Amino acid sequence: MKIPKDYFQRVYAGWLGKIIGIRLGAPIEGWTYQRIKDVYGEITGYPAEFKNFAADDDSNGPLFFIRALEDCADLSRFSSADVAEALLNYAPFEHGFFWWGGYGISTEHTAYLNLRNGIPAPRSGSVEQNGATMAEQIGGQIFIDPWGLVAPGDPELAASLAEKAAGVTHGGNGVYGGIFIACCISLAFVETELEVILEKALSYIPENCEYARVVRAVWAFYKAHPKNWRVGFRYVFENFGYDKYPGNCHIIPNAAVIVLALLYGGGDFDTTLNICNMCGWDTDCNVGNVGCIMGVLKGLAGISYEKWRAPIQDFLACSSVIPSLNATDIPFGASYFAKMAYRLSGEDIPGPWKEILENRIDSCHFEYPGSTHAIRGRCENGRYHLRNTEEEAHTGRRSLRITACDSAPGAENYFYRQTYYRPEDFDDSRYDPAFSPTLYPGQTLHLSVLPCPGEKGEMPTAQIYVKNGLTGEILRGEKAKQERCWQELSFRVPKLEGYICEAGVILSSTAQGPARDLTLYLDDLYIDGSPDYEIDFAKTSLEQWTGLHQEIAQFAKLKGHTYLEGPYLSLSCGDFAELYTGSHTWDDISLACTLKPLTGEEHFLNLRVQGAMRSYAGGFSAGSKLCLKKNCHGYKTLAETEFSFIPGEEYEITFTAVGNRIALAVDGREMLSYVDEDRPLYTGCVGMSVEEGSHCLYRHMRVWGKRSGNEEETGS
């Protein structure tokens, strides 16, 4: 596989197209063509507006299953088992992420429980294990897009990867659909004609399977009746409708709609997506797949910025069990797929992208044309403009041009990356997202600005800042010199009561006279350093999303019962329970907390949490033991010592990881340590866990890590 020269723009366009399609179809998911026509007449754009579009299974699956490529120890032996591990690792237990409709009802839920109970992939999703009805539902193709995006122009590789991925949860036509869609995406990087793409993609699935039959049947009808897509849909409805196939959401009717839209869309992004959406059925899934294919095929030039991109503004919410991965942006996804593509190809990453992909993949770098990285604005008069541009750049080729329009003298205009999200930031709770902050006290915010003079030569003031989400306080850092040159600003966040919800730059002017436009260029916004912060559970809130979805602020739950009671966070279970916070990027770290065991014998703190399947745990265990454990697809004890804890008593536990050494202290005295030389975990979140029906109370948590020599106190 050789990576195409225009790969970065095309992979971004493909992922954008996927997210656009999901958002376009989500408000009418499950509707029939007739209902859509009766209510809307004709849909030619987003049918609903959102403060922020909450998480969706169609983007959760693609963004987290692909992490199997990074987590796999040996890519030459990559298999369905690696994708199964990603599913178990990143999906919360029976909530959020995707539809948990019950065993034997929801295909993904069924496969997940099969895997949890030791049934290996690909048997976990197979027809032999679950029956054809269950195995051939739509999920085999809706989560498959990245396996085409990481194999640009190499449909053979895309087919191989897609077969392994889809086989974890599906079988039969459910897998063939995944292969077909992934191959279409892969081929769209190098082919220009849709019918060529369809023909070549068909060559990777059995010629006599039902999926191939429906593709060829719809194609043949199109050739005989190429003018009116509604006539084509009537044919699909009568011959391949939901009444012809069993289950909740069979893949074949939806495959027919995808092919119909691609053919009748005439190669136009808007027309193709709108036809697919108007057909109804599983709209967010179908339009998402079509959007990805068309995004790659047409590139960014084929996607209207104002119509499709501006309402999304690059933001993407997810609902994995790792809360720091759940508030992300579309450039991150595109960059992650690109990183995996280069890993698979063995090629060197081009110079301008190497630093981004290897060291600052979650930074705001603005190198994708039109990207904003979800930068937001708040101005006194509400008027501002953001534009990605090649006019200036601190590094690379592009930056974000920010203009505060008609700003009065002394007015402060805030432009920022939102670093924490709460229920009030969303209109709904689709797939139950949960977040932790992406910036903490002790860490350093970096950004670069280039202030621009006004009409009369006056220079605006640019100042780096963060905002306390609990108190609303603005914490200000250094100001840029009033010179038209690129300037690097940094701000180490001081200790504070609360959490950081914004990080960015204040744009203002002290020049007297009428209101005027203030302009600067922003580039290279990123975060580094180690955290040093505390959470007082007496002052922590329970975030209420819906009657059935509530979260401890800053935490995401794998499983169990959690609530706040006085100064304590309570965690209990019938079998096991785990709760995570912090960042998946933290390396050498210490976690201290007061534990008050109530019932049962298994009470722990967790470090280096990489998901449900990988972490370290330290705490109290059965048989009057203090122990260190490692979770590697199941916990095993690494070290233990005698320790008789008393239920109802409080113990100050400090759990530390430095390099591959972990250590546990009780009431200030180190009592256990272990050097892990068997594939040690070097990064991850922090958290709490209990097992075997235990119930533990946790009071006053503190997290801190190493402090690099170039970090200085710059708070004010």
Compute the average pLDDT of residues 222-227: 97
For the stretch 390-421, pLDDT in tens is 999 999 999 999 999 999 999 999 999 999 99
Residue tagged 């059935």 (tokens): 548
Measured between alpha carbons, how far is 98 from 83 in angstroms, rounded to an integer?
Answer: 16
Residue 708 is predicted with a pLDDT of 37
Measured between alpha carbons, how far is 377 from 578 in angstroms, rounded to an integer?
Answer: 36
Residue 514 is predicted with a pLDDT of 86
For the stretch 521-538, pLDDT in tens is 999 999 999 999 999 999
Q: Is 90 exceeded by the pLDDT of residue 89? A: yes
- How does residue 352 score in pLDDT terms, banded at 50, 70 and 90? confident
Residue 659 is predicted with a pLDDT of 97
Measured between alpha carbons, how far is 129 from 199 in angstroms, rounded to an integer?
Answer: 32
Measured between alpha carbons, how far is 370 from 386 in angstroms, rounded to an integer?
Answer: 10
Could you tell me the two tokens for 684?
Answer: 């991850």
- How does residue 682 score in pLDDT terms, banded at 50, 70 and 90? very high
**May I ask the CATH class of domain 7-317?**
mainly alpha
Compute the average pLDDT of residues 368-391: 96
- How does residue 712 score in pLDDT terms, banded at 50, 70 and 90? very low
Residue 512 is predicted with a pLDDT of 82
Common-topology check for domains 376-528 and 534-705: yes
Measured between alpha carbons, how far is 66 from 185 in angstroms, rounded to an integer?
Answer: 15
Domain 376-528: CATH superfamily, name plus number: Galactose-binding domain-like (2.60.120.260)
Q: Considering only 34-38, 597-601, 705-709, which range has the smallest mean pLDDT?
A: 705-709
For the stretch 15-71, pLDDT in tens is 999 999 999 999 999 999 999 999 999 999 999 999 999 899 999 999 999 999 999
Compute the average pLDDT of residues 309-325: 97
Write the single-letter amino acid at 529.
Answer: G
Q: What is the CATH number of domain 534-705?
A: 2.60.120.560
For the stretch 247-267, pLDDT in tens is 999 999 999 999 999 999 999
- How does residue 513 score in pLDDT terms, banded at 50, 70 and 90? confident
- pTM for the structure as a whole: 0.96
Helix 7-25, helix 283-298: angle, nearest 10: 160
How long a stretch of residues is the chain? Answer: 716
Write the single-letter amino acid at 538.
Answer: A
Q: Is 70 exceeded by the pLDDT of residue 556? A: yes
For the stretch 109-164, pLDDT in tens is 999 999 999 999 999 999 999 999 999 999 999 999 999 999 999 999 999 999 99
Compute the average pLDDT of residues 490-518: 93
Q: Is 50 exceeded by the pLDDT of residue 371? A: yes
Residue 710 is predicted with a pLDDT of 38
For the stretch 464-485, pLDDT in tens is 999 999 999 999 999 999 999 9
- How does residue 707 score in pLDDT terms, banded at 50, 70 and 90? low
Measured between alpha carbons, how far is 509 from 166 in angstroms, rounded to an integer?
Answer: 56
Core vs surface per residue 201-219: b (16+ CB within 10 A) or e: bbebbeeebbbbebbebbb
Measured between alpha carbons, how far is 70 from 361 in angstroms, rounded to an integer?
Answer: 14
**Domain residue ranges in the chain:** 7-317, 376-528, 534-705
Which residues neighbour 385 within 8 Å (Cβ) at sequence distance 6 or greater?
A: 401, 402, 403, 405
Write the single-letter amino acid at 45.
Answer: G
